[in-house]
Structure 1
Amino acid sequence: MSSRLQFEGAGVCESDLSGRPFNGDTVNVAQVSDREVGKLLDDLPSAHGSQTVRDGRAWKRRLHDPAKRARRAARVVRHIRFVYFAHVDDDSMFGDYHHELVTAEVLMDRVLTARASGMKAVHTHLHGEAEEWLFKRPPRGSFQQVTPEYIRWYGRDGARRGEPMVREELAIELMAEYGYSYSNALDIATNNSGALARMDQTWLIARAKTPIYCRPLHATEFHQLARTIEAAYHVPVGDTQVTRANMDIARRAAAVLGTVLDEYVETPFHTPALAETFQEFHGAHLLRVAHARLAGLQPMPVTGVLGWFSAKRARIYAEVQARLAAR
């Protein structure tokens, strides 16, 4: 008997990316990993006596097949669910272990639901501090002089900006104010203010407006999730079937995490078995993403200099990701 939990259309938050068509220029890479994530979560083990824990080679083989683009309306959001010890004292080591399992499940639910909605489910470079800096406006009187950080929050007339300037806007403002070149202005904006790149700030603002059950993870939460998956893998001494089931589920959780990251990331795991699983599935996923991007770009009509540079940049990006995954 398999502990399979499926929710048809439940807990899926809407995103403008979820309905964006494939046009040859932008590949919705979330669709690339739909099949492998579904296969990983479709037959999770349980602690039932009739469940035999497999060696995992079958599901690894299946996920090396090319992923097929699926209709978003028919997507099923599956969830990671661990097995809990029965009849144990919450004040014992099992209580701490169960707390780690709950944390891992909640964070993985957010990753999978955000992914299903078309959002970038994990941002591995933006930490929680960046979110605090974005939404915590410093008082005007706390600045002794006009600095890049002041310009980021306040205009020349001292009026508060509706949103803090992004890094690119701040660089242009510094160019106009002090006559810097763009490269020097961008360097000053990066190193002397808390300004974020436009895409990063847009992601954080969208994240803040997203319901908590499908809110994507920033880097701090991503590493917390990795720690809890490792904690789930190191099961306390107890029921053998629970131990084997949770070790297998933890490996699958590491594999799923590797298939939802569309840019190369060093493994966040220290346990060799989890690190190896993450690297294997992350590398295979990045190769599929690169091939999908290249396949989508080749028939694209390229007109004008800007179109040529856009296509060239996308191809170079795909090739770099493929090489990082294959090394």
Structure 2
Amino acid sequence: MLLKGAEAPGPGGERTDEVRKYSDLLTGVTDGHQHGVDVDRCMCGGTACACGTGYRLYVRSAEMPARHGGWSYHSHPIARDGDGNWTVGEACGHTHDIDSELLQSRIDAKLNEEESMTKQAEEQEKEAVDMAKVSAELEKLRKVVALPAEQKAHYDGLDAAAADAFLAKSEEARALEMRAKQEADPVAYRCKATGEALRKSAGAERIAMAKRLDVQQEQIEMLTKANETARLEKMIREEMPHLPNEGGALPALVKAAEEIGPEAVNVLKGASASMGGLFKTVGVSGVDHVTVQAGDPLPEGQAVQKSAGVALEEKVEALMKAENLSRHEAMLKFGRTPEGRNLRARIDAEKPVVTEG
């Protein structure tokens, strides 16, 4: 404890205030001298204190012989008298006067210091315990996160003690435990809708539920696919009717074009329009025609022209039904036959269709 000492002569005889490590307080003056004393815990130890208060006064000797290298001490017990004042008990055949209030203030300071140190030590100990606990939790979390998915699912199903034991095992030991579990509880069904592998222990009800879910998912997928196919076929019929559908691949081609963007769809529409001009049936399509007034006689040869066109259409429609072909596929296939080439030649040689108007 740093206290200001009494004024003492300096090296040149001047008076100076010296600050040095000092006693807690001083005794009263006896025979022209007094002692520095320290207030400290007694040395009784254990739970019983022979001093009664737990404190003693440790008195420094009047001198500090150089050969000892430090102060020498003796101690006195202290107690309160009938008025509540502190008194110094006899030791070594003498006692000392003491300032009771000052002694009490020193004892209070000691108690506060001890309490503060005890509290600080407890806080440090608690912090150390908390830090150790946090470190352990972080290490546990690290191990849990590192578990493979199947081991993590197994870990989550264990009670606290079994989970900690499982986590404490080596990777090889955990793998052996999982293998033993799998052999004892084989996979009974794999749900396609969720990707979950249901083991026998999942129970019949849950397995049946997973199967129903797969059936529902399959029905939804089939309906979705059918609706999409119908949409594409309608689009083909209305917007690109002249594109060939070799092997039924045209809907998939149109779908791919849609995924690319509008420009790709427009390319298919343009191709359909270009191909449509190659398969105009004169006398049937109605594209090339002349108009006469109602009641006027039809031009000569109209019946022959109509018969050739109708014959071609009938052949194409029959081929479409017989072989499940599109109109354009049937037109191409029939057009390669001798009969088809003959009808095409007749149509090309005949006059346009004439209709009444």
Task: Report 1 or 2 for greater relative contact order, CA contacts < 8 Å, sequence distance ≥ 6.
Answer: 1
TM-score by length of 2: 0.17
- Relative to total residues, which structure has the larger strand share, 1 or 2? 2
Question: Radius of gyration: which is bigger?
Answer: 2
